[in-house]
């Protein structure tokens, strides 16, 4: 029996390497996308090349109705959900003070980054309990565990910091059920590096960097940690907030690039 992993927002960005690494290790996959239908179906083909089953389902995780439909359709097509990876995370690139957010933007940030996890987890946790095994992995941002202030990103930061507490609360509630709940906090992974392998980034560093031993983090760096969290050997890790940022703080990442990270 292969385990089934549902990876939200996985048609592009950081979700791509997570999907491919899980497929490579024998997991059936549900890919979700909001508008990137062509990319989703290309990734579906790449995933199925590993000999696993894959479904690509359109869903806006900021919508409760879409979250419910996503779970129902995933169960209809795959029969089970063993792993839930909440990678999708709406993000507003424009720098705004709190008073400049519209109601819609505030609700989008909170619903897409926090409430979506509640809607999805509420549906999958009973299924995981029946199997006495499950993995939920949420995405945060660097230093989310410390509840830092993040100027011009108040809505996004508030949602993700709230998700830290929700992650820990779910982990405690499910500690005796065989289900673990953890969070990964990527650093500022930009552009093509989001979908790169470590080997590709190392090769690029050899060509372009004055010090080729230094390379940016990649999507595969995140995927490798997620892969371990999804494994049988990770049962002792529960309620952890794991930084994957090359050792840089949020402020150092902002100073390094002159502006903030973009979305997943």
In this predicted model, what pLDDT tens digit does every residue of 197-220 receive, in sequence order?
767 766 676 666 655 456 678 889
Is 70 exceeded by the pLDDT of residue 34? yes
Angle between helices 154-173 and 103-110 (to 10 degrees): 30
Is the pLDDT at 255 greater than 70, yes or no?
no
Percentage, residues of the chain above pLDDT 70: 87
pLDDT of residue 78: 98
pTM, to two decimals: 0.91
Most distant CA pair in the chain, distance: 54
228 membership: H or E segment, kind and range: helix 219-229
Total residue count of the chain as it appears in this document:
264
125: number of CA atoms within 13 Å, CB side? Answer: 17
Determine the CATH number of domain 4-257.
Answer: 3.40.50.720
**Which of residues 220 and 190 earns the better pLDDT score?**
220
CA–CA separation, 80 and 71 (whole Å): 10
Cβ contacts of 108 within 8 Å, gap of 6 or more: 62, 90, 92
- For the segment 53-61, the average pLDDT, to the nearest whole number, is 98
Please state the domain extents for the chain.
4-257
């Amino acid at each position: 029996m292969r385990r089934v992993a549902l990876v939200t927002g996985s048609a592009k960005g950081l979700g791509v390497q997570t999907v491919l690494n899980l497929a490579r290790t024998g997991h059936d996959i549900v890919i979700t996308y909001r508008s990137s239908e062509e990319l989703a179906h290309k990734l579906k083909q790449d995933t199925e090349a590993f000999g696993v089953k894959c479904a690509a389902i359109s869903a806006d995780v900021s919508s409760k109705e879409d979250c419910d439909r996503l779970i129902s359709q995933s169960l209809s097509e795959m029969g089970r959900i063993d792993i839930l990876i909440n990678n999708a995370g709406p993000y507003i690139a424009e720098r705004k003070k709190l008073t400049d957010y519209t109601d819609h933007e505030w609700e989008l940030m909170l619903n897409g980054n926090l409430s979506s996890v509640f809607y999805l987890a509420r549906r999958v946790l009973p299924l995981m309990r029946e199997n006495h095994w499950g993995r939920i992995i949420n995405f945060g941002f660097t230093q989310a565990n410390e509840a830092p202030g993040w100027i011009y990103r108040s809505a996004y930061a508030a949602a993700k910091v709230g998700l830290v507490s929700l992650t820990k609360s779910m982990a405690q509630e499910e500690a005796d059920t065989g289900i673990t709940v953890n969070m990964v906090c990527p650093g500022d992974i930009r552009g093509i590096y989001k979908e790169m392998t470590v080997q590709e980034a190392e090769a690029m560093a050899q060509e372009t960097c004055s010090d080729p031993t230094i390379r940016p983090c990649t999507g595969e760096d995140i995927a490798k940690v997620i892969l371990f969290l999804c494994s049988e050997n990770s049962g002792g890790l529960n309620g952890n907030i794991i930084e994957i940022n090359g050792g840089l703080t949020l402020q150092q990442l902002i100073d390094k690039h002159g502006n903030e990270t973009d979305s997943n």
